[in-house]
Amino acid sequence: MKSLTAEDLSIYEWQLDVPHFGEEGQRKLKNATALVSRAGGLGGALTMQLAAAGFGKIILAHEGELKPSDLNRQVLMKQSEIGKLRVTQAKETINRFKPDIEVEAINANFNETNAKDLVAKADIVFDCAPLFEERFLMNRECVNQNKPLVDCAMFNLEAQLMVILPGLTPCLQCIFPEKPPHWKRKFPVFGAVAAFVASLGALQGIKIIAGMPNVLINQMLYINSDTLLFRKIPIHKNQNCKICSHLTKKDIQ
């Protein structure tokens, strides 16, 4: 396990006194690998906060080149780099901020071919993907490998956040067994909405890895930033869930 250096203590000084975190929590982050699916509006903002907090390694999986319409929310990108790979730009931005964080940039979306290997390399997974097929695949693979999954989502001025701890909490498909048939890939949203739910998601990940209390368990957080309604909705496992109902507490390590 890597130890904290004098430079680490200096950089993270302002968070070391957060209750239940301390040097032990910082050490855990330094030795943790996060997988972030997509480096766009949600994923980019979330990745920046993981880097700020001091995750040791971040794997970013996102295929494709930057488009103009990405620039209202994809804060790791540069307008001068339209047409260039998003994931490469994301890596450059993060490493300009924090050179010591290992960023593995993969020019591919999370898919059936890479799912198993990507999740196997991670201690925690952050779902920031737009397609429900991708989200469900991430959910399934995290359940199969018993890895925590932080599920972030947004639409218009709203956001939702869930933490999935396989076997202990509902999985994504306990709550949403199928994708909404009318879902459209492009939807209205501000970058500021992506930023706040991404930050909340990053914080859940920090708490999980550092072993801090009050992780969002068995609740879904719903936020309406138009009316400033914040609501924690109790959610429960579906005993017939095709993804996780086979897990019992004794399966949890």
Which is it for strands 229-234 and 102-106: parallel, antiparallel or unpaired? unpaired
**Minimal distance, residue 56 CB to another protein, in Å:** 24
- Going by C-alpha positions, the residue among 134, 196, 133, 185 that lies closest to residue 159 is 196
Q: Which is nearer to another protein, 135 or 147 (CB)?
A: 135
Q: How far is the CB of 148 from another protein (least distance, A)?
A: 17
Cβ 217 to another protein, closest distance in Å? 15
**Least Å distance between CB 49 and another protein?**
15
| CB of 24 or CB of 183, closer to another protein | 183
Burial readout 200-219 (b: 16 or more C-beta within 10 A, e: otherwise): bbbbbbbbbbbebeebbebb
DSSP 2: P
The distance of closest approach from Cβ of residue 196 to another protein in the complex, given in angstroms and rounded to an integer, is 14
Question: Residue 223 belongs to what H/E stretch?
Answer: strand 219-224
Return residues touching another protein (CB under 8 A).
37-38, 40-43, 73, 127-132, 135, 152-156, 158-160, 175-183, 185-189, 194, 222, 224, 226-227, 231, 233-236
Question: How many residues appear in the chain?
Answer: 253
Radius of gyration (C-alpha) of the chain in whole angstroms:
17
Choice between 12 and 110, CB closer to another protein: 110
Q: Quick one: CA dihedral 78, 158, 161, 202, positive or negative?
A: positive
Pairing verdict, β 57-61 and 33-37? parallel
Q: How far is the CB of 222 from another protein (least distance, A)?
A: 7
The nearer residue to another protein, 100 or 187, going by C-beta atoms, is 187
Residue 95 belongs to what H/E stretch? helix 86-97
Report the residue number, 129 or 142, with the smaller CB distance to another protein. Answer: 129
- Please give the Cα distance from 123 to 173 (Å, whole number): 21
> Which residue number, 50 or 194, has a Cβ lying nearer to another protein?
194
CB of 146: closest distance to another protein in angstroms? Answer: 23
Q: Three-state SS for 45?
A: helix
Is 154 or 210 the residue whose CB approaches another protein more closely? 154
